[in-house]
Every structure is written in structure tokens, then in C-alpha cells.
């Protein structure tokens, strides 16, 4: 077999220019017996992943970049760190207005291997000579497969120039798809990129643009077989230059030495938290600080503390904690978290494993309105060249893949509308899963056209589509370190990394996750005192009764069902509900045992009697990741660091590490007196659990926030609902919360020209609808009204003089119909008449008096609220009165379907949860797949009558009849 190194491979990260996936590329390279592979995308979004993937297959990666130059395309490969830095700069400049590189800039570069093809030769011999002089033997001429197959004149020109100027030629397959039979998929991709159908593609790519085997390359390149040996020479020149995984923290100045300053802050925090420092606190603090010092992470903790210090000084909405960070006493004493790890039995090793020198994750929750303030602080403190948003690559999800393939094939829109609503629109859910789980998708496959469409679309699932900015992540580093990461510009102009969050973390950079939670804004702004009592009876009663609409993490129908079942009495039990209500525990079949034991209707069932000390808190169920660590320590004698290694290997399904640790586990367990059979049983238990284990530190943190929100909605419902509506946040749409507030006895008031603000307003009598929810009244119109309201408007004429004449007639008409002028006591009909007069003539005071048609009479005429609803976007009015009939077989409920979600049973069978509302109440009904037909979307926003049966405190639909 001839040896060669495939060069200029373009992967899917050259967005829509290649159908090659990295794992498939590396697998084929190794299978072909090759030792190296050269990738040259049009950016560096996939560079880090390519290095990691190549390493997994024991391959050498040649990292290149295809660039546009003044003389046509060039392929630049980094041979050392200097060359890599140039690639990073070039890849960055592309997204900041410099898509074409000047030849002068390239000629000044160092550490590069450069390949120029026939297009480069055609641009002028002078360029060839300049590059030969600048790069010497690191400048090569490029011969592509297409040149040999269809453009022999290019080969003749290359050979002539190479001979005359003693240049070497490198042979390259320049593949765009992996296998020969992927040609059709690649053509589909070209159609998607150009937003045309297949038959409209003008330029046809060669069917030989796939990853050719060494034998195929040898056959095609036989006339210039030396060009394949040249690729081996190029590979030999490339050194090891990619950034390592050493920690890359930004500079942080503090008084004195970092470790001592951190200890000082912790001791101050300990006195503030506890009053006196107990032996337990002292020992845990010393233990954590010792590990932090050994790993050189004091600066990291000080950086996080500084960020939180700033946030608290500005009274920003900051959560009590998130993720495993609550397991650290140091972070609790620094004020980064509000969860005492000693009180809740949380483990530091789950947060920071002493055996791995990696930066731990400290995710910080902020109110959605405050997150940008924290980001601005980061940029101010560490500089524009020390901070960047983390980028992310958006891949094709099931629905997007089907839609794009259908468009490329020229399928009509009605056909698309039949299948796309049935498929998930987000990543992580595949067409294959949809086919297995959804009967309506399987039925669609009976149509051969649909079957072809779904088969083709499956190829593109998970394929890179475009890039975006990560929802919460930023990287903070020294300027010289950040220069190792290529950057891009988001559609909003944000500076983002071309490496994603996993790449950044793996390379040792400080990743800061700042998450914006709308409900955290609501909790922070409605909080009336510095502290909330954790033993408030009314709050726990509301939680136990599952009256938690609008409460953080507690408002979905499924969560409310289990809240009622568990009836938690404290934060620990509330955290357990958050951990229970997840697919893993629910599918395990152990929740029933948990409930029986919790309510003392049956004794707890322990997998092994020795595990009782660990599992007693969760009534025999392995619920938390921390319990895995404790069990491994108890049974096998692992220290907590090794226990966390086991948990991590299990969760990542790392068979190699798992096999090594299993052997140690079994030996340790037998040594501690367990039988081999029991040890095997316990290991299997942990292995099965690892796929769905919940982080207790995270659960407890969010349990506090859930409790706070329930306390506030219990004691200050009007304030809470107003803020909730203005945040647009929560599980349900804003309209649902508005109607729920009304059902709780809070008056929902129509807009008022003198009381309304842009959003909802809390007033003495209730919640006032704002201007933004009136059709045609946008921010500009609302601003004119509010600026003119230096004192209350006294009449419609007064309003017209001060603000109305600046607004469109349509805007004012909608204000009238929405009831915004009802406070003047004049009927809407009269005001509409006035508007017609005012728009035709310039009003003269006293000449056009407002007709005094009584508003009271208009209200008595009926349809008063219904008419206002027509121009108010947020739906506060439902046409149907409460109508529930009891029969011998159950209930007949009439209402409007306002919300629907598809979910799955333990067996993977689909069902719907429909929210059915009328003016007095709402019901949530479970609908089996057999009832909802092809798609649950056909039921939303419809008036229906549902025959339902009550079972185990839930309503199950037996029959559904649309009535409107």
C-alpha cells in the first residue's frame, strides 16, 4: 500500500461546504492504515475537536486553513506555534471585515507551510517567486484530483513551474464528502447553502471529491506519483504546537499572597456565617484550602468572589447557588453560594476533585435584567482583549434537517407542513427516536415520499449548520492566552470564540457561566425583607397542596403531581422532589417504593443493608451523585476523589476507565467483607444510576430558590404576579399567568391612559394591563404617551393636545377600544367619533365638545370586555364560563385549550398534557396518542369538550370533541 497524507480535507465545520463529520473522518483514516490527516476548513470552529478526535485515533493532525488571498485560494498549515498564531489571526480577521488576506501579510508570516494551486499560478508568476523566496522549502504547489482527471493543462503548468524553480508538488484529494455514495448528500448540502433546489445548482462538484483510499490516489496520481511522497514530507515538518491543558487564569491582584488572602476572606466569612468557628468548620475549611493551594486555584476562587462582591454591591439579583459549587465551604464563606454544605451533607470532591487539576465549574444565576451588568463589569476589569463570549455550533435538529432537505428536493410547502410539526425542533431528539415513539410519524412513513425524505434527513442530523453565541458562557484570560483562541463576531456584534465551551474548558481556560433567570428577577424584586423564614407554615402548605403555578421549578403539571404525592416539609425533601421528577428516577420504577417509605406505609427497601447510612435520607433510593461517591467509599474503601472518578467514568460511559476502576472496586469490596456477588450487584446499581443521577448540591440550591418564590407568591401575590408578567418568564405563557392571577381573586384591569406603564403595573385595585399589550402601541408610541403625562390627562381633548396628535390614528383607535380612556366616563363610541373629527380638522378649544354618551350604558350593552380583548394581545378574557358536568363515568369539561405539551410514559409511549381553561378554573388533562390524531398542534387554541376519567388524582381523556 502506498503511503500518503490526505491534505486539504474540508469538514462540516466549513458550514454547508462539506458533509464530512470528524469522527467518521478519523475512523476512516485509521481504517485505511494512514498515520496523519490534514484538515483545512474555512475557519477554525472545528480545530480543537479535530485535535482531540485525532488523538483518540492515534493520528497526527495537520491543522490548516483555507484562505482567500488577493491571488486566489491558498492553503496554510501551521508547522509550529508561530504558524498556529497566524492561523488564529487569519481565522479571526475573516469575521471582522477582512475576508481577503493581502499577499504582503501572508509573506511576513512565519511558521507556515503553504500550498498554492492552479488558481494561484494563474494570478502571476511573480507571486510564486515571492512565496518561494519567503518560505523556501515550505512553499508547495498543489495538484488536486480534479486537475488530473479533468484539467490536464493545470498539471502541465504545475510541472513546468515546479521544474524551473525547483518547487515540489503535493497531491491532494481535496475531499468534500467521506464516501463515494455520499455524493448525493453533498449535492443536497450545496443546494441548502445556496438556497436553491438540486436542479438549480449550476456548478457540479466532481463525484471524485470523496476521501480516496491510498490505492485510488496512487492510480489517479500515477503520472506524478512523487506528489504523494511530498505529503509525507509535509507531515514530518509539522510539530506539536496546539495549546495544552495547563491552567490559563487571568491576572488577579490582591493584598499579599493569594492563598493567604483567600484564607483571610474565608475566616471573615466564617465568623459572619457562624458566629464562632466549630471544629467541624475549621477542619473542612483547612481541608478545602489545602487542596485549592496544592492545585494552584486560589486565584480562581478570588476571581469568582470578586464577581459576586461586585454583584452584591450593586444589589443585583443573584441566585443562592447552582451546580456542584454549593458543595464548597469556601464558596459559602466567600458569599458565592447561600447553601451551607455542612448542614446538607454536600461533598467538596463532587465540586473539585483533588485528583484532577482542572478548573471547577462555578455557574452563577443572575436575574435576566442584571446579567448584562455583570458582563460589562468583566470587560471593564479584564479588558476587551481579556474577555470573550463563548461560541457554539448550531447543528441540524430533526425538524430543521427535514425542512432543509425537502426544500432542496423542491417539495411543496403543504407536504412540509404534514411532517415537520410532528418532529422535535431541538437537538438531542432524533428522527429515529421520533419514528420509534410516535405513531403519527410511523404512519407518515407509509407514504414513500415521506419515507425518502426522512431517510435523507437523518444523514444531516447533528451536522454543523451555523455558529452562534453560547447562552451563558464567557472566557476570561490574559491577552496572550486569549490570542490562542480564534474569534468571530455574532449577529449582534459580540466577540465570540470559535472554540465551544467544552474546547475552552479542556484547554484550561477560565469559563464563567452567567445564566439569566427571569424568575430570579421576580424573586429578587418582590422580596420585601433581607431574610425569608424557612419554616413558614402557609408556604409549606401551598407547596404540599401543589398550588405552585408561577413558582420556580415547581409549576409544571408533572412536578405539581409529585409535589402533592411527596408533600415535602423542608428544604431537604423539596430538593428530593426536584431530583425525583426526572426521566431516570421515574423510569426506574423505584419512586413508588420511595413514596411508601416516605409516608411510612412500608419499610425502605435497601439494595444492601450496609448502604442504609447512605440511602436513609432518600428512603432507599439512590437519588444523588453524592451518594455514589459515599457508597464507593463505604463499600470499596475509595477516597472521595477516586469515587468521583468512578462516577464521572460511569456518566460518560468511559469503558476503559470503568473497567480499571471496577477491578479496584471489586477487590476493595471483597477486602471489606462483601461477597463478590454483592459487590457486583452494588457496582451494577451505581452503573445504572450514573446515567440519571442528580447533583444534590444543585438540587438543594434550587430548592431554596423554589421555596423563596413560593413564599413570595403566598404573601405578596399581586406584586409577584405583576413582576412575573413583566418578565415574560415561567413555564406557561404570560396570558395564562394573567388569567391565573384573576382566578386567585386579583382584579385584572384594562389599560388606563393615566395609570398604565409600558408593561403591567401593580395598582391598589389589582394589576393594570400596560400599553405594550395593545395592538399597534409599540415602545415609541408608549414613550410619547408617558412623556406627555407630566400630569394626569383630564380628557380626551387634553390627551390629543399633549400627545395624541403625535400618534397614528390606528394607535389611538386601539387605545380607545382597549378601554384606555374609560376613566373619562365617556363611551368608546363617542371617543371614536371625536377621533374622526380630530383627524380631519385642527381642533379649536370649545368648538368640538366631546359628546357625553354614557360609558355606563355602553357597558350595560354587553361584550364590553370581549371587545377590548380584540385589540389587547395578552389574553385576559375567555369566552367560556366554567362548565363541568359530573357523570357516572367521570367528568365532561368544556373549555379552551391554551397550552399543550407532548411527553412520554416510562415505556416511551407518547401522550399529551393539555391545559384546558375557562373563566373560573383550569384543568390539566392527559391525552393518550390514540386520541390526539396526527399532532397535538391541531388541538391547541381550540374550544373543546373532553370526557375525562379521574384516576390517581389525575384526569385522563377518553373522548375529545372540538366545539369551535
What domains, with CATH codes, occur in the chain? 22-237 (3.20.20.140), 258-391+469-519 (no CATH), 397-462 (1.10.10.1600), 527-703 (no CATH), 716-869 (1.10.150), 883-962 (2.40.50.140)
Q: Which of 401-405, 439-443, 857-861 has the highest mean pLDDT?
A: 401-405
Exposed/middle/buried for residue 313 (C-beta within 10 Å: 0-12, 13-18, 19+): exposed
pLDDT at 920 over 90: no
- Confirm if 763 and 749 have CB atoms less than 8 A apart: yes
Residues in the chain: 964
Exposed/middle/buried for residue 815 (C-beta within 10 Å: 0-12, 13-18, 19+): buried
- Confirm if 522 and 723 have CB atoms less than 8 A apart: yes
What is the layout of strands, in order, in the sheet containing 766-768? 747-749, 766-768, 761-763
Please state, in angstroms and rounded to a whole number, the distance separating the CA atoms of residues 709 and 320.
12
User: What would the pLDDT profile of 648-687 be if each residue is shown by its tens digit?
Assistant: 888 877 788 888 899 999 999 999 999 999 999 999 988 8
pLDDT at 936 over 70: no
Measured on CA atoms in the order 602, 606, 612, 617, is the torsion positive or negative? negative
Can you give the pLDDT at residue 652?
78
pLDDT at 25 over 50: yes
User: What would the pLDDT profile of 611-656 be if each residue is shown by its tens digit?
Assistant: 999 999 999 998 999 999 999 999 999 999 899 888 888 887 778 8
Percent of the chain at pLDDT > 90 equals: 63
Residue 345 backbone class (left: φ over 0; alpha: ψ -120 to 50; beta: rest): left
Q: What is the CA 339 to chain-centroid distance, rounded? A: 25
Please state, in angstroms and rounded to a whole number, the distance separating the CA atoms of residues 699 and 350.
13
Can you give the pLDDT at residue 449?
87
Can you give the pLDDT at residue 935?
47
Please state, in angstroms and rounded to a whole number, the distance separating the CA atoms of residues 709 and 723.
12
Closest among 318, 297, 296, 298 to 307, alpha carbons compared: 318
Can you give the pLDDT at residue 866?
65
DSSP strand pairing (761-763 vs 495-497): unpaired
Can you give the pLDDT at residue 588?
75
Can you read off the three cell numbers belonging to residue 542? 401551598
User: What would the pLDDT profile of 426-461 be if each residue is shown by its tens digit?
Assistant: 555 688 877 877 777 787 788 888 889 989 999 999
Half-sphere exposure of 920 (CA within 13 A, CB side): 6
Can you read off the three cell numbers belonging to residue 912? 399529551
Can you give the pLDDT at residue 575?
97
Closest among 815, 763, 755 to 786, alpha carbons compared: 755
Least trusted range by pLDDT, from 236-250, 295-309, 677-691 = 677-691
Q: Which residue has the higher pLDDT, 381 or 207?
A: 381
Q: 219: Cβ–Cβ under 8 A, 6 or more apart, which residues?
A: none
Please state, in angstroms and rounded to a whole number, the distance separating the CA atoms of residues 670 and 604.
25
Please state, in angstroms and rounded to a whole number, the distance separating the CA atoms of residues 175 and 18.
8
Task: Work out the average pLDDT over 873-898.
Answer: 74
Task: Work out the average pLDDT over 343-365.
Answer: 88
Q: Could you write out the DSSP letters of every residue in 221-271?
A: TGGGTHHHHHHHHHHHH----S--SS-BPPP---SS-HHHHHHHHHHHHHH
pLDDT tier at 865 (50, 70, 90 boundaries)?
Answer: low
List C-alpha distances in Å: 152 to 29, 123, 142, 430, 524.
Answer: 28, 18, 14, 45, 72
Amino acid at each position: 500500500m502506498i503511503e500518503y497524507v490526505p491534505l486539504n480535507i474540508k469538514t462540516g465545520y466549513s458550514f454547508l461546504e462539506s458533509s464530512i463529520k470528524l469522527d467518521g473522518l478519523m475512523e476512516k483514516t485509521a481504517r485505511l492504515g494512514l498515520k496523519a490527516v490534514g484538515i483545512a476548513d474555512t475557519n477554525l470552529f472545528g480545530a480543537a475537536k479535530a485535535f482531540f478526535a485525532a488523538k483518540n485515533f492515534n493520528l497526527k493532525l495537520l491543522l490548516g486553513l483555507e484562505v482567500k488571498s488577493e491571488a486566489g485560494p491558498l492553503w496554510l498549515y501551521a508547522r509550529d506555534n508561530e504558524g498556529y498564531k497566524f492561523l488564529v489571526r487569519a481565522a479571526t480577521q475573516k469575521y471582522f471585515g477582512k475576508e481577503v488576506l493581502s499577499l504582503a501579510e501572508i509573506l511576513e508570516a512565519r511558521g507556515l507551510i503553504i500550498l498554492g494551486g492552479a488558481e494561484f499560478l494563474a494570478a502571476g508568476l511573480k507571486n510564486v517567486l515571492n512565496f518561494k523566496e519567503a518560505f523556501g522549502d515550505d512553499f508547495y504547489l498543489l495538484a488536486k484530483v480534479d486537475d488530473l482527471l479533468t484539467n490536464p493543462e493545470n498539471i502541465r503548468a504545475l510541472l513546468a513551474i515546479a521544474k524551473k524553480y525547483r518547487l515540489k508538488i503535493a497531491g491532494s484529494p481535496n475531499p468534500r464528502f467521506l464516501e463515494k455514495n455520499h455524493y448525493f448528500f453533498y449535492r443536497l448540502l450545496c443546494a441548502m447553502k445556496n438556497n436553491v433546489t438540486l436542479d438549480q445548482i449550476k456548478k457540479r462538484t466532481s463525484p471524485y471529491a470523496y476521501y480516496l483510499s491510498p490505492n485510488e490516489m496512487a492510480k489517479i496520481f500515477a503520472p506524478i506519483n512523487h506528489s504523494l511522497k511530498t505529503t509525507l514530507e509535509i507531515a514530518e515538518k509539522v510539530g506539536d504546537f496546539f495549546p495544552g491543558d495547563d491552567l490559563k487564569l487571568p491576572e488577579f491582584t490582591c493584598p499579599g499572597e493569594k492563598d493567604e488572602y483567600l484564607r483571610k476572606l474565608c475566616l471573615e466569612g466564617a465568623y459572619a456565617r457562624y458566629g464562632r468557628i466549630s471544629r467541624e468548620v475549621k477542619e473542612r475549611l483547612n481541608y478545602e484550602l489545602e487542596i485549592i493551594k496544592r492545585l494552584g486555584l486560589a486565584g480562581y476562587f478570588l476571581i469568582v468572589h470578586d464577581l459576586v462582591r461586585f454583584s452584591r454591591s450593586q444589589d443585583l439579583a443573584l441566585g443562592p447557588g447552582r451546580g456542584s459549587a454549593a458543595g464548597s465551604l469556601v464558596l459559602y464563606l466567600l458569599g458565592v453560594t447561600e447553601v451551607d454544605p455542612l448542614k446538607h451533607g454536600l461533598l467538596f470532591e463532587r465540586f473539585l476533585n483533588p485528583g484532577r487539576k482542572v478548573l471547577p465549574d462555578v455557574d452563577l444565576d443572575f436575574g435576566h435584567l442584571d446579567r448584562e451588568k455583570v458582563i460589562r463589569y468583566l470587560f471593564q476589569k479584564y479588558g476587551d482583549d481579556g474577555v470573550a463570549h463563548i461560541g457554539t455550533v448550531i447543528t441540524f435538529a430533526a425538524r430543521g434537517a427535514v425542512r432543509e432537505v425537502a426544500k432542496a428536493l423542491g417539495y411543496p410547502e403543504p407536504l412540509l407542513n404534514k411532517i415537520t410539526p410532528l418532529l422535535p425542533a431541538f437537538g438531542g431528539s432524533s428522527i429515529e427516536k421520533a419514528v420509534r415513539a410516535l405513531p403519527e410519524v410511523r404512519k407518515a412513513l407509509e407514504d414513500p415520499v415521506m419515507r425518502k425524505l426522512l431517510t435523507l434527513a437523518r444523514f444531516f442530523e447533528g451536522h454543523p449548520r451555523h455558529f452562534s453565541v453560547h447562552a451563558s458562557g464567557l472566557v476570561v484570560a490574559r491577552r496572550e492566552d486569549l490570542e490562542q483562541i480564534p474569534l468571530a463576531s455574532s449577529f449582534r456584534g459580540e466577540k465570540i470564540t470559535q472554540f465551544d465551551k467544552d474546547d475552552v474548558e479542556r484547554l484550561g481556560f477560565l469559563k464563567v457561566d452567567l445564566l439569566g433567570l427571569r424568575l430570579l428577577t421576580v424573586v429578587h424584586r418582590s422580596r420585601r425583607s433581607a431574610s425569608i423564614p424557612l419554616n413558614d407554615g402557609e408556604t409549606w402548605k401551598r407547596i404540599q397542596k401543589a398550588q405552585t403555578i408561577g413558582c420556580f421549578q415547581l409549576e409544571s403539571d408533572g412536578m405539581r403531581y409529585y409535589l402533592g404525592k411527596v408533600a415535602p416539609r423542608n428544604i431537604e425533601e423539596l430538593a428530593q422532589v426536584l431530583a425525583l421528577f426526572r426521566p431516570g428516577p421515574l423510569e426506574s420504577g423505584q419512586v413508588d417504593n420511595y413514596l411508601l417509605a416516605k409516608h411510612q406505609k412500608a419499610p425502605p427497601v435497601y439494595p444492601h443493608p450496609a448502604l442504609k447510612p447512605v440511602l436513609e435520607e432518600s428512603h432507599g433510593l439512590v437519588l444523588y451523585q453524592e451518594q455514589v461517591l459515599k457508597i464507593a467509599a463505604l463499600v470499596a474503601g475509595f477516597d472521595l476523589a477516586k469515587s468521583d472518578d468512578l462516577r464521572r467514568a460511569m456518566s460518560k460511559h468511559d469503558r476503559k476507565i470503568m473497567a480499571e476502576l471496577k477491578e479496584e472496586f471489586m477487590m476493595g469490596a471483597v477486602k471489606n467483607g462483601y461477597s463478590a456477588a454483592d459487590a457486583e450487584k452494588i457496582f451494577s446499581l451505581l452503573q445504572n444510576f450514573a446515567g440519571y443521577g442528580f447533583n444534590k448540591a444543585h438540587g438543594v440550591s434550587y430548592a431554596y430558590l423554589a421555596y423563596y418564590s413560593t413564599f413570595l407568591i403566598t404573601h405578596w401575590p399581586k406584586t409577584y404576579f405583576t413582576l412575573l408578567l413583566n418578565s415574560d418568564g415561567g413555564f406557561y405563557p404570560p396570558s395564562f399567568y394573567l388569567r391565573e392571577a384573576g382566578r386567585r381573586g386579583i382584579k385584572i384591569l384594562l389599560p388606563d391612559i393615566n395609570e398604565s406603564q409600558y408593561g403591567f403595573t401593580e395598582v391598589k385595585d389589582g394589576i393594570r394591563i400596560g400599553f405594550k399589550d395593545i395592538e399597534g402601541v409599540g415602545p415609541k408610541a408608549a414613550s410619547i404617551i408617558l412623556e406627555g403625562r407630566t400630569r394626569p390627562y383630564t380628557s380626551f381633548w387634553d390627551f390629543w393636545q399633549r400627545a395624541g396628535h403625535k400618534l397614528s390614528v390606528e394607535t389611538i383607535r386601539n387605545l380607545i377600544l382597549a378601554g384606555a380612556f374609560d376613566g373619562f366616563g365617556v363611551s368608546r363610541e363617542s371617543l371614536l367619533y371625536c377621533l374622526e373629527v380630530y383627524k380631519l380638522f385642527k381642533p379649536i378649544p370649545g368648538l368640538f365638545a366631546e359628546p357625553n354618551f354614557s360609558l355606563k350604558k355602553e357597558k350595560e350593552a354587553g361584550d364590553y370586555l370581549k371587545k377590548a380583548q380584540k385589540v389587547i394581545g395578552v389574553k385576559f378574557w375567555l369566552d367560556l364560563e366554567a362548565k363541568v358536568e359530573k357523570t357516572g363515568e367521570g367528568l365532561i369539561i368544556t373549555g379552551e385549550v391554551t397550552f399543550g405539551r407532548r411527553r412520554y410514559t416510562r415505556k416511551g409511549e407518547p401522550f399529551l398534557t393539555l391545559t384546558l381553561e375557562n373563566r373560573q378554573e383550569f384543568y390539566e388533562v392527559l391525552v393518550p396518542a390514540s386520541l390526539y390524531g396526527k399532532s397535538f398542534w391541531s388541538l391547541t387554541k381550540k374550544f373543546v369538550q373532553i370526557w375525562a376519567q379521574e384516576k390517581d388524582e389525575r384526569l385522563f381523556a377518553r373522548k375529545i370533541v372540538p366545539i369551535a
